[in-house]
Amino acid sequence: MNDASQTDPLVLFMPSGKRGRFPVGTTVLDAARELGVYVESVCGGRATCGRCQIEVQQGSFAKHKIVSSNDHISPVGAKEKRYAEVRTIPDGRRLSCSAQILGDLVIDVPQDTVVNAQVIRKSASTRLFTRDPAVQLCYVEVDEPDMHKPLGDLDRLNLMLEKDWGWENILVAQHLLPQVQGILRKGNWGVTAAIHRDLEGSRPNLIALWPGLHNEAYGIACDIGSTTIAMHLVSLLSGRVIASSGAPNPQIRFGEDLMSRVSYVMMNPDGREAMTKAVRQAINELTAKVCAEAGIDANDILDATFVANPIMHHLFLGIDPTELGQAPFALAVSGEVHTWSREIDLAINHGARVYLLPCIAGHVGADAAGATLSEGPHRQDKMMLMVDVGTNAEIVLGNQNRVVAASSPTGPAFEGAEISCGQRAAPGAIERVRIDPATLEPRFKVIGVDQWSDEPGFAEGADKVGITGICGSAIIEVVAEMYLSGIISTDGVVDGAMAERSPRVFANGRTFSYLLHDGAQKIIVTQNDVRAIQLAKAALYAGIKLLMEKLGIDHVDTIRFAGAFGSFIDPKYAMVLGLIPDCDLSEVKAVGNAAGDGALMCLLNRASRREIEDTVKRIEKIETALEPHFQQLFIDAMALPNKVDAFPQLSNVVTLPERKVLAEADGDGGGRRRRRNRE
Amino acid sequence: MNDASQTDPLVLFMPSGKRGRFPVGTTVLDAARELGVYVESVCGGRATCGRCQIEVQQGSFAKHKIVSSNDHISPVGAKEKRYAEVRTIPDGRRLSCSAQILGDLVIDVPQDTVVNAQVIRKSASTRLFTRDPAVQLCYVEVDEPDMHKPLGDLDRLNLMLEKDWGWENILVAQHLLPQVQGILRKGNWGVTAAIHRDLEGSRPNLIALWPGLHNEAYGIACDIGSTTIAMHLVSLLSGRVIASSGAPNPQIRFGEDLMSRVSYVMMNPDGREAMTKAVRQAINELTAKVCAEAGIDANDILDATFVANPIMHHLFLGIDPTELGQAPFALAVSGEVHTWSREIDLAINHGARVYLLPCIAGHVGADAAGATLSEGPHRQDKMMLMVDVGTNAEIVLGNQNRVVAASSPTGPAFEGAEISCGQRAAPGAIERVRIDPATLEPRFKVIGVDQWSDEPGFAEGADKVGITGICGSAIIEVVAEMYLSGIISTDGVVDGAMAERSPRVFANGRTFSYLLHDGAQKIIVTQNDVRAIQLAKAALYAGIKLLMEKLGIDHVDTIRFAGAFGSFIDPKYAMVLGLIPDCDLSEVKAVGNAAGDGALMCLLNRASRREIEDTVKRIEKIETALEPHFQQLFIDAMALPNKVDAFPQLSNVVTLPERKVLAEADGDGGGRRRRRNRE
């Protein structure tokens, strides 16, 4: 570029918009590299890997003042033809390492190789997500040994990696030293090296080596939840997610919720070690599963990113989480963690790198950081509220000027624990509920049965799966419906007077209960159940309110429900019950496993790592336990809903005939199913 | 310094000569750091570690234009007094972290804490060897956890390491993550961190952590020889060698010499693994031994440097050495190797770092590089020849302008192998020999017996140990003495005519032999023995001559014999036999384990690592097998000595009565013993 003159052809790369002038004969790949446009290439311009495909736009582009035409690019040459014979190049595509610039050009870097729809969410500030993983494959042809220049085989390899790819001062993983000679000879001196460099300016690491051209490199992005471990398997070369799966966290056998696992560690000398082993083994099994699904070798996994809540994060790294179980809730490490697969017994490539996103605070983990990165409150003007509900609700609130975060002790009620008929979301669990305000008769949907309970064919389906309990999302709905139909009052008391209107409301000791289903197993909602939900929602709402007060705002522009809970509940019911503040309903979105999406972004783009590291440092952490006002907010939030006039968006929901509006919200369930699939 | 004015006190540090002006009240330690004068400090200026001692010179120093006097330095303060009460400060010493500059000063940085006599050899260009190890201990006091600022314990530690010690972007060894909380609490938030940074500009590594002030850090410098493993245990804080020891290389059971070990690997599928395991285990046992000797914990060893010949180097790293057994003798890796103790199963601190010096060529290993670093041909004007004799002779020749290196196939004769009565240097082995040229009667010395064989008391001593063979050094002497007494001719034939003068010369098949000792075991020097030595010395001399021709020189200024062989033989006999070219005898020195000294330098000074890395790249490698002229040089060198007139320095030795001169050379053996101790 230094010697480019104003008469040289002008080349514009889309969609980045980067442009520059290059001498006639420059390859498109070289031009892209000089401009910092990310175009993958493994073979280093030998037209054998096919990773560097681009498209040439034809015609006049007045806006860019560039005119592209067919004779502005070199014709398909011998190497490209040979590649096209062996593999397929889609119509209109060229290999940028072979195509030379002959005149002004507009070049499309195809979206399918640069961005991944799953990673990108449209947000106020839509960003182009450029792929720039920490691991890169580099094919080189190494000089054969020469007695006159007795440089080691590895040293000659490193020389070539510097010459062809610009990697200087390479650090070599110890385990490769014994392998390098065999690999070089097996590849007849042509080998593919995997280079890892996360931080710009740090020394590149040679982490893996294959004979010949190795055209596959994968990564895993993993969210270690207390209940479920979710994993994406991603091609680092295309950026595509090629398999996704989940598995239960086997630590459940040591304790259902987080605090009982911490207790287990405190009570059992080998507890920490057993739980670390269990979660690593589950991750290895899940890795094997996604690899089998995609038909790839786990040895081709070269990078892994993880998000987790603080206790899962610590147990995964082998750190005793005891300190997190008691004030001052000190994290052993809050910043990002870089390590190696072999240091934590992951069954992927022995040289693979591992990156854990930073934790925000003792109760706001790397999972919340991942969700923050994915949803990007810090990237937009709009005031965004992001909620991830589990045993604790992790709450992040803010915009590009300021972001605050807290954890609120909702307890496990939202997950169906502490609820008399509560159970996990599994076949047989009631997942949706409607109550007729006139008759107080319910109708509901059961996981594993296609029909609603009042539709033909339901009984046959229900006979097969059995009706066994209520899952988390339905708990919210049934309490909201009980409130909307007048069975419970604003202060959450099951109204005994209703027993006169329907036998479904009945005295149950000193309080009243509601009989949701009268079958082989009675499904009942008790006064205690309502109280548990009331307490949980009050804790969540108080936490949100506290953060809004910190920012001096009384209104949020947009709300994101992250996590499984958010995917299953209907945002409208969340608002009816007063879990979340008033907001335009179209701006309330369930975003599925946003934490995992954040891990995915960090896997595919090093800049995302820097972004979340910087953001986490900037986030103001609020500890609800230290805020005297929190208690008052909590008490205020016990009412159902908190204060109706605080929810103008809900006024139509509450005052109009409920069935109609809420049925619309439910639709055919497609929205929910789509969200679920996206996880 | 930026705001220092010309009226501020001037401070001169000796022996480095660095100087600068500092405001009144600056501590001497701060001044030293600002000037880049290396003064150790673990406690970071708390006057508790005692590592930063200096001396204030008193009086007028016209040369430096600085006048030091008692009132130019602050009086001993409370902290220093407290330290002196608990420990001892030598008279005249001050703690530089407490002593403040009040006026012009000359400061002595005591030599005992800066240099180690064992490391420094006087050479043409005498250098001050400044200690600057890759590992540094840093005591910090970490903020306690704060719920308002939920930074992790490790993150607060890192913050303090940046604030107090300037370490930025610290990388933390994975195994410390589970330990950091316990250590911080055990130390009541005061901890000592070990930071490793080898290359300037690379990220510092946190490799070890202790509660409270930890005032000990050690390193090992190790030379892995084919026969013997030698190790120094060094304090990284004082630079002192606190224990040294050696152990046989247990790989001997797989093959006596290098090539037979390579054969073993080629023949046995598990051979490489078995030999790697054996040498690592021997190193671990030797480490345990030096630790026990010095009374230290192996966990306090934080850095390790290694030299070895190429085959030992590869086997130690777990690399198959097969390629080194055949042309083109390709090293798997020739450059320096950085790794971690745990990657190669060393039983020292789990976070300890390991550094291997680079190899020069396929037959000129990291041991030759270590010797080069130690003796420094590349640092001086004089033309230096450095020879390390083993199965191959590694030869380095050059000065600061140009250095060449080669390996010459001497075979194992110099080590006593292939010699009919040859044996290792062990009790019972003949180690010195003199032959009376008049009577042809020998006298000799035996290892384990104090007297010479013609002295009273010898018989009793010899009865105890037995006389079992001839060791390497004596082989040289006996052949030289046989030549000097006329028993063998210039072309190396045992002269049968001599049998008439003495029964010690006798027909033995078709050739003649010399009976050195007639005891329970006859010790005989055969014609074949003489031939073996002749071939070995011809190979060595031809290699040297080849390098001299490459440099276009016919004379060397100074000669160094490195290694055990060099320590045991008398340089004069080496010259009589024509092993080495003519040189002023006072410039022929045995330097003991110079390779190990090079490892030691790299352990104590990072600049030494850069120096040898750069030097090895600069050294021109000559492969004798590829030099057509080598064969001719070899044939020319078969004569004894090569050509007498080529050795003017020897003319008096050869022409004067031999006994007298050579007895002088031998002296009381103290010189030799001193050299042996130094290994």
Residue of chain B whose Cα is closest to the Cα of A203: B202
Mean pLDDT in residue range A540-567 = 91
The contacts of residue A443 (CB under 8 Å, 6+ apart) are A433, A434, A436, A452, A453, A454
What's the pLDDT at A460? 92
Positions of E strands within A459-605: 469-470, 505-508, 511-518, 522-525, 558-562, 588-592
pLDDT of residue B474: 87
Amino acid letter, residue A240: R
ipTM value: 0.83
| CB-CB contact of B376 with B122 (8 Å) | no
Q: What mean pLDDT is predicted for residues A139-163?
A: 95
Rounded to a whole number of angstroms, the distance from the CA of A335 to the nearest CA of chain B is: 6
The amino acid present at A140, given as its one-letter code, is V
CA distance A600 to A117: 12
> Shortest CB distance from A152 goes to which of B144, B154, B334?
B334
**Whether the Cβ atoms of residue B12 and residue B56 lie closer than 8 Å to each other:** no
Chain B contacts of A339, Cβ < 8 Å?
174
Residue B221 has pLDDT above 90, yes or no: yes
What is the reported pLDDT for A607? 93
CB contact under 8 A, B202 and A203: yes
- When pLDDT is cut at 50, 70 and 90, the band that residue B252 belongs to is confident
Residue B346 · residue B280 · CB < 8 Å: yes
Interface-testing mutation among A159, A160, A174, with chain B (most B C-beta atoms within 10 A): A174
Q: Phi and psi dihedrals of A408, rounded to 5?
A: -120, 135
**Who has greater pLDDT, B164 or B472?**
B164
pLDDT band at B545; cut points 50, 70, 90: very high
Which residues have a Cβ under 8 Å from the Cβ of A163 and sit 6 or more positions away? none
Cis ω before B328 (30° cut-off from 0)? yes
* Cβ pair A181:B339 closer than 8 A: no
Q: What is the pLDDT of residues A484-527, one digit of tens each?
A: 899 998 888 999 999 999 999 999 989 999 999 998 889 999 99
Select the residue of B152, B323, B344 nearest A333 (Cβ to Cβ). Answer: B152
Q: Which residue has the tokens 């090293």?
A: B331
Instruction: Supply the pLDDT for residue B147.
Output: 86
B147 vs B291: which has the higher pLDDT: B291
The Cα-based distances of B291 to A488, B285, B288, B300 in angstroms read: 76, 10, 5, 10
Q: Give the torsion through C-alpha atoms of B317, B320, B325, B326, to 10 deg.
A: -120
Q: What is the pLDDT of residue B111?
A: 59
Rounded CA-CA distance A484/A576 in Å is 8
Q: Answer yes or no: is pLDDT of B675 > 60.
A: no
pLDDT tens-digit map of A428-456: 989 899 999 999 999 999 989 999 999 99
Average pLDDT along chain B: 86
What's the CA gap between A302 and A298, in Å, rounded? 9
Q: What is the mean pLDDT of residues A58-84?
A: 76
What average pLDDT does range B378-399 have in this prediction?
92
CB contact under 8 A, A335 and B171: no
Query: Closest by alpha carbon to A582, among A556, A614, A552?
Result: A556
Of B175, B335, B338, the CB nearest to A152: B335
Least confident of A97-106, A627-636, B87-96: B87-96
The answer to whether the beta carbons of residues B117 and B238 sit under 8 Å apart is no
> Each residue of A200-242: pLDDT tens digit?
878 999 999 999 999 999 999 999 998 889 999 999 988 888 9
Q: How far apart are CA A594 and CA B609, in angstroms?
A: 48
Q: Give the span between the Cα atoms of A652 and A576, in whole angstroms.
A: 11
Model confidence band, residue B131 (pLDDT cutoffs 50, 70, 90)? confident
**How is chain A split among helix, strand and coil, in percent rounded to 5?**
40, 25, 40
DSSP reduced 3-state for A354? strand
| Out of B153, B178, B360, closest to residue A331 by CB | B153
Contact B150 A333 (CB under 8 A): no
Asked if residue A15 has a cis previous peptide bond (ω within 30° of 0), the answer is yes
In chain B, % of residues over pLDDT 90: 57
Single-letter code of the amino acid located at B567: S
Burial string for A326-356 (b: 16+ CB within 10 Å, else e) reads: eeebbbbbbbbbbbbbbebebbbbbbbbbbb
Residues of chain B contacting A157 with CB distance shorter than 8 Å = none
Check: CB of residue B318 under 8 Å from CB of residue B308: no
Question: Angle at the Cα of B417 (from B412 to B418), degrees rounded to 5?
Answer: 95
Cα gap B250→B248, rounded to integer Å = 6
Chains A, B: CB contacts within 8 A come to 160
Task: Write out the E strands in B479-545.
Answer: 505-508, 511-518, 522-525
The verdict on a CB contact (< 8 Å) between B199 and A174 is no
Q: Give the residue among A52, A58, A81, A60 at the shortest CA–CA distance from A71.
A: A58
- What B650-655 contacts at long range (C-beta under 8 Å, 24+ apart), as own/partner pairs, is B650/B575, B650/B576, B650/B582, B653/B572, B653/B575, B653/B576, B654/B484, B654/B576
Residue B644's pLDDT is what? Answer: 46
Residue A647's pLDDT is: 52
pLDDT digits 0-9 by tens, A179-192: 999 999 999 999 99
As a whole number of angstroms, the distance between CA A290 and CA A296 comes to 9
- Smallest CA–CA distance from A321 into chain B, residue: B178
Unique residue bearing structure tokens 């994915």: A374
Q: What is the pLDDT of residue A674?
A: 34
Residue closest to B482 by CA, chosen among B442, B540, B429: B442
CA–CA gap between residue A284 and residue A281 (Å, rounded): 5
